[in-house]
Structure formats: structure tokens, C-alpha cells
Structure 1
Amino acid sequence: MKLYEYMGKELFARYGLTVPRGKMVTSPDEAAAVAAEIGAPVVIKSQVLSGKRGKGGGIKFADTPEEAREAAAQVLGMTVQGLKVEMVLVEEKLAIDHEFYVAITVDGAAKAPVLIASAQGGMDIEEVPDEFIVKEHLDVCLGVQPYLCREVCRRLGLTGAVAKEFGRLLPTLYRIFREKDAELVEINPLVLSGEKLIAADAKVTIDDEALYRQKDLPVVDDRTEAERQAHALGLSYVQLDGNIAVMANGAGITMGTLDIIQYYGGAPANFLDAGGGTGMEATAKALEILLSTNPRVIFINIFGGITRCDDVARALVKVKQEKGINVPVVIRLVGTNEEEGVRILRENGIEAYKVMHEAAAKAVELARAQG
């Protein structure tokens, strides 16, 4: 679960980290009132669960409360990185002497937390060369000890009061990471203003499986309507940006389906793992979810083991007869009760493929034709 920036900063403040003065608002008038309260100049920051907000026009500056009202009116309702802005954070504009990057996340390959820091923070951190990035894997039994803080500061070239500030910040960041069951705690930029280090941004991602014990955190549901419906059915579904709707049975084959669609130049609209053993009713509802996203083509890729091919065929026919399907459907059907499934489809005017790459190529071809 990702937290909005303002939520992350509220969490940081509870742990004693310095954050800019500010407040989340949902209207231009509220933005003007906050600007008057904290004192201009201020920054108006769109609150969406995405990066690159500045490049997307989601961050604006204002020198007066009236300018804050106008800026908030421009940002509220706009789309940033495909996400609609429904709230903004109004906060003081910082005097920036330098920008750093610091984060703690999980290194799956090393099976350990990793501390990442750079003296070149701010926009486009992804483009900073590796030689300017410090990475230190953390022992969960030791955490962030003073010697590690000193080593990180040395490698970043920090001395004096700034090094002391940085040395106090790192253990606190790790406490947040551990105590809140985080997958990521990131500050970019971490701003040096005078001799103060201030978290000018906050990205916090909490492990979904640990939410039951994080009762003091707000619940953020950033799923699309289709994702919510699929979750209610117990299906693994993730919305993507393409136009070919995908349903397969099993995480591996679903990932393979997405890859082969892209190999042929297509763009998958979603990841939908219908799982093994999904019955006809659940399969039919999954197909209805795919239709609700208005794809150009539906590509069904079934390798039947526990899943029966005839159940999938009956589900497809049921949806076609009861709901109507107004887009082309390409289906690859192999495995348990394959012959029966193919017969059912043919009786209803649907041809099934046996080879996955041929079916994927056809789905991409049809999607291009629909465009």
C-alpha cells in the first residue's frame, strides 16, 4: 500500500523528522487559506501516487494566497501521469542549498534491507551514475549503527553539522522502515536548508500483508474499479496501459502471455491470473471485468491442468450470449477436456488456437486493425 506524500510526511513528523509546514486541501479556497496561514511563498503539490509530478505540471509555486488559489484551481482536476488530482498539498517553499537522495528498501536478491543514498538528489535520480550512489545492505539484527552512518557520510562527502544531521536521520528512517513494515521509505529530495535537513518529499510503501497490524496508518485503496471487482472474486488482476485484455491461468503463463504480446508489438491492457481450478461462473465474471475496460481485443490463454478447457469454453459462450461481446476474442485452449472445449467453441462460431505464439500474433494483428 502506497501512502500519499502528505501522509508520508505526517508519519515522518511523528518520528521527529523535519518536514515543511503545510496542509492537504481539496479546494482552491482552502489552498488560499493555508497559504495565508503558513505565509507565502508556497508550493502547490498534486497528491497522486506517482512520480514525475513536476514534469507533468502537477507542482506549482505561488507568492501570495491569491496565486495559491489560482494554482490550486489549475492543479485540482487535472491528470498527472494518468491519475486525476483530487487533493493538493500546500506547503512552505524551502530555501534550498543542496538536494540529497536517501531511501531504505528491500533487496529481494540479497534478502536484506538496503540503504541507498546520493548527494545528487532531486529530479531524474534514476539517471545518476552508479559511482555517485551509496548502497549499504543492512543487518536486521544490527540496524543502522553509528559507524555505518559515519561511513555513508564519508562517501557522500558530508562533514560537520550536516554530517551530524544526516547521522541522526538514517537510524530514524530505519525505525520507520522496520516498525511500519515498509517495503520502501524514500526522501527525494532531502533538502539542505542552512544547517537543517528537511524531507521535501515522502514516498512510503507498506507491505500489504502487514496492514492488519498497522492500525494507526490510513488505508489507501488505489485500485481501479476493475481491480476491486477482480479482488472480490479472489483473482489476481492489475490494470495496465495497453489495449489487449488478457486472461490466463497461472502467474507464470500470464506473465508469458504479456511478454509474447509485447514481442509481437502489442500492448497488454491488464494482468489477469484466473488461477487453477476457477469454475465456469468465476471465469464468466472475469470475462465481464475484461469487457468493462473497453479493450480492442480479448486474448484468453489457457493451459488446462486443474482448470478445465470445457469450463472456460462454456463461460465464454455464456458471456457472449447473455452480455454480448463487441470486440474480437482470440483464445488458445490446450489441456484438460481440450477437445470438448474446442467443440463447444466451434459450435458457437469461435475458433481456438493450439499454439500460443500464433494466437498472440493474431491478437496483436486484430488490435492494430481495430485502431
Structure 2
Amino acid sequence: MKLHEYQAKGVFADAGLPVPDSTLASTPDEVVAAADDIGYPVAIKAQVQVGGRGKAGGIELVDDAEEARAAAERIIGMDLKGLHVDRVLVEEAVDFVNELYVGVTMDRNEGKPVAMVSTQGGVNIEEVAAETPEAIAREHVDPAFGLQPYQARRAVYDAGVDREVAGDVASVLTTLYDLWAEKDATEIEVNPVMITSDGEVVCADAVMNIDDDALFRHPDLADMEDEAAEDDLEAKANEYGFDYVRLSGNVGIIGNGAGLVMTTLDLVDYYGGAPANFLDIGGGAKAERVANALDMVFADENVDSVVFNIFGGITRGDEVAKGINEALESFDEIPKKVVVRLAGTNAAEGMEILNTDLVTVESTLEDAVQRAVEYSEEEQ
């Protein structure tokens, strides 16, 4: 479960982390009232779970009520990277002189959590990791003992953080790790941690993702789940019981089994396409479930083509074919081009059942992915 920024900042504040004064608002009037109460200047920040909000026009700094209202009218209701903005966080602006990155996640290669610090905050940390990995100081943590004070200090010093604020930044890192462990988080980060001219350390952003399987241990976080759902598609995925992640591309992907779906995503990328989603319908999927999956992917306006990758074990190819037919035959006009690859249990029967007037059938996964990528490019 991904928390919204305002939700994560509430958790951070309860843990004693320094966060700016802020108020959630959903109308221009509420934005102006909140800004007047906080005091100008303020930042108005779209509450959607995507990176690069500022570059996309989802964050604005304003100096008075007139600017606040105008910014609210622009941001509330906007489409931000395919997501509808219905709420903004009105937040005290921070006059900073430096930006840092601080975070904790699981390093699966090492089998340990890793605490990270970088002086290149305020930018996409994935780009930093790919282009200048040496700019990120890392400390692997033994979960039996937790992040030790000397480790936090070493990460901060290795990153090159100014000694005047090093102690406070190390404290932020330690608190983040404690939250990561206590709340069963999969990822927790602040990007950026802002340093003011007075040497104050401020957590100006907040990312916190929670392991869904651990929510039963955290009823306070579980209560946030409905509001944390990013959009109608995520809500629909929860309703259908799908494992679903929305991505930024335009090739819709449906498969049965997480490994099969991940392989399909990798192939879409390999052949020059961009995945629009991860959607695992699970084993033993019946026709209705397959139809629901297609309904979900068709509902994503970013999707230009769909690749259906099914390898039958428990899942039967003929049931999948029935579901695809039922879903597509309900449309007067098929909204997206669909490519199907069936293999495994009852695949031959499924191929006979499929209405090839409605779908393109390919015998191999590679061919199916390439065809779906071609279709997506035709729609550009």
C-alpha cells in the first residue's frame, strides 16, 4: 500500500520528524483558507502518487491569496500523468540552501535492509543510482540489531553532508529506519530533506509504502487504505481481487502469475514498448475474471494495445478464451487492439474458441509482445 504524501507526513510527524506545517484541501476556497492560516509563501502540492509532480505542473509556490486561488484552480481537477488530482496539500514553504536524499529500502541482492543518504536530493534518485551510484552512501543493516548510531553517522559523512547538520540528518535517517521496521514498510524516503540557511533540517517530502500482507498488524495504517488508493483503477483492482500496479506506458499487460507478468513487462521494454500496467489474474481464472481484467485495462486511457499472456496450469486455456470472447463481444467497437498468446492446459481448445475477428493470436510470447508494441506505436 502506497501512502499519499499527506498520510506519510502524518506518520512522520507522529514519530517526531521535522515536517512543514500543512493542511489537506480539495477546493480553491479551502486552499486559500489554509494558506491564510499557515502564512505565505506556501507550496500547493497535488496529492497523486507519481514522481516529477513539479515538472508536470502539480506543485506551485504562491505568495498571496490571489496566487493561491489561481494555482488551486489549475491543479485541482488536472490530469497529472494519467491521474486525476482531487486534493492538494497546502504546505508552509521552506527557504532552503541545500537538498538531500534520505531513505531506507530492502536490498534484495544482499538480503538486508539498506539505509541511504545522498547530497543529490530533489531529483529522481533512480537516475542518480543509475548514472552516479557513487553519489549515494549506503549502509546495510542487520535487522536483528537495527540501524546503529555509528552506521547512521557513517552514511551521512560518506555522503558528504555538511558537518553542521550531519547530526540532525543522521537522526532523520535513524527515525526513518525505525519506522521502516516498526510499520513493516517496503520503502520509506524523504526527497528532499531541505537544509535552511539557519541550519534547520526539514522533511519536505514523504514516501512510505507498506507491505499489504502486514496491514493486519497496523490497523491505523489499514484505515488509510481506501484513501491511499490512487484512482478508480486501483479501487477496481481491489474490488476484483487483482494484483495490479499502474505504470506510465501504453501497452496493457495481463497474465496469470507474477513471474509471467514480469517477464512480459521485460519483453515489452526489450522490444521498445512501454508497459502500462502489471496485472496478474492469478491461477485458475474463470471466464468472468478474465473479462474483468480486460475491463480494467480498457478503462486505462493511456493504454493503446493489450497483450494477454496465459500459460495454463491450473488456469485452463478454454476458460480464458471464453472470458476474452465474452468481454470483447460486449463492445460495439473494440476499444484497444488485443494480442493473445495461450500455452499449456487446454491451449489448443482455447485457440479454437477464440474469436479471431476480435483479437490477434500469436503462437509465441515474443511474437505476441512485438505485435502489441507495433499496435501501440500505430496509435501514437
User: The TM-score by the shorter chain falls in which range?
Assistant: 0.7 to 0.9
Post-superposition CA distance 1:277-328 (Å, at most 9, x none): 2223333433444444475544333332322222223333344445556254
- Structure 1 contact 115–138 (Cα < 8 Å) conserved: yes
How far apart, in 2, do the equivalents of 1:351 and 1:91 lie? 50
Which residue of the partner structure matches residue 284 of structure 2? 277
How far apart, in 2, do the equivalents of 1:342 and 1:335 lie? 11
Residue 206 of structure 2 is aligned to residue 197 of structure 1: no
Secondary structure (helix, strand or coil) at the match of 1:185 reads strand
Post-superposition CA distance 1:39-69 (Å, at most 9, x none): 2222222222122111112221222233222
Post-superposition CA distance 1:126-146 (Å, at most 9, x none): 454333321101122222222
- Structure 2 contact 76–88 (Cα < 8 Å) conserved: yes
Residue from 330, 341, 349 that aligns with 2:339: 330
Which residue of the partner structure matches residue 154 of structure 1? 157
How far apart, in 2, do the equivalents of 1:331 and 1:72 lie? 44
How far apart, in 1, do the equivalents of 2:371 and 2:215 lie? 42
1:92 is displaced (CA, Å) by: 2.1
How far apart, in 2, do the equivalents of 1:299 and 1:127 lie? 29
How far apart, in 2, do the equivalents of 1:351 and 1:53 lie? 37
1:366 is displaced (CA, Å) by: 4.4
Which residue of the partner structure matches residue 259 of structure 1? 266
1:283 aligned partner, one-letter code:
V
Post-superposition CA distance 1:177-209 (Å, at most 9, x none): 222221222112212221321111111111211
Residue from 164, 167, 171 that aligns with 1:164: 167
Q: 1:115 to 1:354 in 2, by over 3 A?
A: same
Residue from 188, 209, 213 that aligns with 1:209: 213
Q: 5 Å matches for 1:226-241?
A: 226-241=233-248
- Structure 2 contact 256–310 (Cα < 8 Å) conserved: yes
How far apart, in 1, do the equivalents of 2:312 and 2:346 lie? 8
Which residue of the partner structure matches residue 44 of structure 1? 44
- Structure 1 contact 342–351 (Cα < 8 Å) conserved: no
- Structure 1 contact 345–351 (Cα < 8 Å) conserved: no
- Structure 1 contact 52–81 (Cα < 8 Å) conserved: no
How far apart, in 2, do the equivalents of 1:179 and 1:358 lie? 46
2:365 aligned partner, one-letter code:
M
How far apart, in 2, do the equivalents of 1:350 and 1:192 lie? 56
Q: 1:140 to 1:330 in 2, by over 3 A?
A: closer
Return the TM-score normalized by structure 2: 0.85
- Structure 1 contact 112–138 (Cα < 8 Å) conserved: yes
- Structure 2 contact 102–191 (Cα < 8 Å) conserved: yes
1:160 is displaced (CA, Å) by: 5.7
How far apart, in 1, do the equivalents of 2:247 and 2:364 lie? 25
Which residue of the partner structure matches residue 135 of structure 1? 138
How far apart, in 2, do the equivalents of 1:137 and 1:150 lie? 13
Secondary structure (helix, strand or coil) at the match of 1:121 reads coil
Residue 182 of structure 2 is aligned to residue 179 of structure 1: yes
How far apart, in 2, do the equivalents of 1:35 and 1:49 lie? 23
User: Percent same amino acid at aligned positions?
Assistant: 43
- Structure 1 contact 224–239 (Cα < 8 Å) conserved: no
Specify every segment of 5 or more residues in structure 1 that has no aligned partner in the other structure, as ranges: none
Instruction: State the Cα RMSD in Å.
Output: 2.9
Specify every segment of 5 or more residues in structure 2 that has no aligned partner in the other structure, as ranges: none
Q: 1:313 to 1:142 in 2, by over 3 A?
A: closer
- Structure 1 contact 102–188 (Cα < 8 Å) conserved: yes
Post-superposition CA distance 1:90-135 (Å, at most 9, x none): 2222221322221111112212111101223223444543333211
Return the TM-score normalized by structure 1: 0.86
Secondary structure (helix, strand or coil) at the match of 2:96 reads coil
Q: 1:39 to 1:152 in 2, by over 3 A?
A: same
2:102 aligned partner, one-letter code:
V
Secondary structure (helix, strand or coil) at the match of 2:202 reads strand
Q: 1:39 to 1:348 in 2, by over 3 A?
A: closer
How far apart, in 2, do the equivalents of 1:320 and 1:165 lie? 58
Q: 1:74 to 1:173 in 2, by over 3 A?
A: same
How far apart, in 2, do the equivalents of 1:164 and 1:230 lie? 43
- Structure 2 contact 84–231 (Cα < 8 Å) conserved: no
How far apart, in 1, do the equivalents of 2:135 and 2:348 lie? 60
Q: Across the two proteins, how many residue pairs are aligned to each other?
A: 371
Which residue of the partner structure matches residue 86 of structure 1? 86
Q: 1:59 to 1:349 in 2, by over 3 A?
A: closer
Which residue of the partner structure matches residue 105 of structure 2? 105
How far apart, in 1, do the equivalents of 2:270 and 2:162 lie? 50
Q: 1:266 to 1:147 in 2, by over 3 A?
A: closer
How far apart, in 1, do the equivalents of 2:163 and 2:377 lie? 61
Between 315-324 and 144-153, the greater mean CA deviation after superposition: 315-324
Q: 5 Å matches for 1:285-296?
A: 285-293=292-300, 296=304
